[in-house]
Amino acid sequence: MENDEFEDKLNSAVKSSPYVIKRQPSAILASFHEQENAKKNFRVRKGAFVGLCSALAAAVVALAVYVPLSLKNVNSADDPASISVDDDFVSPLTNEQQVLGYEAKALSSYFVSQKPLAKRSDDSASFSQAVTVYEKMESSVRSAYEWKDSDIHAETGSFTGNDGVSYPYKLTINETGVLLYNLDLAKTGQVTASSFEGEMTFANGVSKKASGTTIVRGNGKADLELRLYQDGTSYLKITEISTNGKFYFSSGLYLDGTLSYGYSIRLAKASNRQVMMASYWNGEENVEGTFRIYRESETSYRLYQSFVSSYINLQYSGTTRSYAYNGVTINK
């Protein structure tokens, strides 16, 4: 292939699938106006730094706690994608809360295991606060999930795969329901893949389907997809992808095959930073933000968050602190 021909083809390919820029012009305009207002109105007061730290912590908590819980509000009781449970199942939570509880639990486990900046406890008050909230949520959800022993039968056994490896399993079957559970496990080299399709028929005759796949590659990579069906085209889809240093979690409510509500969180770790990006689709618009922690050295780091239309930049260097709001330096 001639150089020119190669160049044309390469450049066309590069241009053909450009990165989709997510930042909305309205967010930039809002940031601009906020900056203008900040210039006019913002006055540094004693204690402002503490307030900014609190705002930062609140932003973290709001992102991962409020956003999932806010789905509760849009999932009304007659939502076709709500997940029904048997009447014998006693839980103080609504159906939607149970599903969200699972997600909160998964998120909680992840954040608790990560404990960002835990090495610098003095500087990690914001994150410690967020982690504490997660831990409380997890505890609350776990206690709310307790099944009554008299209502269930549990069977524990093992499944031997084609590779001769024994995989333990546990099935929990409701006394008045029927659970059909097809489990498929395969292991090739370092890759373990499993998939399942299940259908539960409840006492009221209503059947619900669930399906999922899990792939663990053995080198720090794992994929999980779980779908809880209301019918063939309406379902809740939960996706989790983790690789070395990166984690992606998304949850979407699909009605008639179309994403109606959903959010995603992506975390990435590089040598000097951790990044959390979140987006939330409320059915009409996408709201998103990022949260970054940059480790600049052992004695300095920078916290950077951009949610919706504003951001706070904090920088520590030894005993010196500087911070800015929406790009305007407040104090040095």
Partner 1 sequence: MTEETKKQINLAIKDLKKDPDAFFASFYELTKGPLYYLILSYVHDHPLSEDLMQDTYVSFLTNLSKLSLRLNPYSYLMTSGRNKALDYLKSKKNDVSLDDEGVQETIGSEENMDDAEPLLAAISRLVSPFEFRIYVQHVLSDMTFKEIAELEKRPLGTITATYSVAIAKLKKGLENYGK
Interacting residue ranges for partner 1, rule: CB under 8 A: 1, 3, 5-7, 9-11, 13-15, 17-23, 25-29, 31-32, 35-36, 245-246, 268, 270, 272-273, 275, 277, 290, 292, 294, 296-297, 304, 306, 311, 326-327
| CA distances from residue 329 to 19, 42, 65, 236, 297 in whole angstroms, order as listed | 31, 11, 29, 44, 21
Closest approach of partner 1 to the CB of residue 41, in Å: 16
User: Which CB, 30 or 83, lies closer to partner 1?
Assistant: 30
Residue 25 or 164 with smaller CB distance to partner 1: 25
Cβ proximity to partner 1, 192 vs 305, nearer residue: 305
From 38, 109, 130, 131, select the one nearest 329 (Cα to Cα). 38
**Least distance from C-beta 2 to partner 1, angstroms?**
10
Instruction: State how beta strands 300-307 and 286-295 pair.
Output: antiparallel
- Which is closer to partner 1, CB of 233 or CB of 299? 299
CA-to-CA distance for 35 and 28, rounded, in angstroms?
10
Of the two residues 129 and 315, which places its CB atom closer to partner 1 in the complex?
A: 315
Find out whether 208 and 200 touch, Cβ atoms under 8 Å: yes
User: What is the closest distance, in whole angstroms, from the C-beta atom of residue 261 to partner 1 in the complex?
Assistant: 23
Q: How far is the CB of 33 from partner 1 (least distance, A)?
A: 8
Query: Among positive and negative, which fits the CA dihedral 303, 247, 255, 205?
Result: negative
Token pair, residue 241, equals: 């992808």
Helix or strand holding residue 270 (H, E): strand 258-270
Q: Are 186 and 192 in contact (CB under 8 A)?
A: yes
Q: What is the CA radius of gyration of the chain?
A: 24
Report which of 243, 239, 249 is spatially closest to residue 222, judged by C-alpha positions: 243
CB of 190 to partner 1, least distance (A): 21
Q: Closest approach of Cβ 238 to partner 1, in Å?
A: 19
User: At closest approach, how far in Å is the CB of 59 from partner 1?
Assistant: 15
Nearest to 224 by CA among 204, 250, 205, 203: 250
Compare residues 18 and 232 and give the one whose CB is closer to partner 1: 18
Nearer to partner 1 by Cβ, of 172 and 317: the residue is: 317
Lookup result for tokens 């504003």 = 310
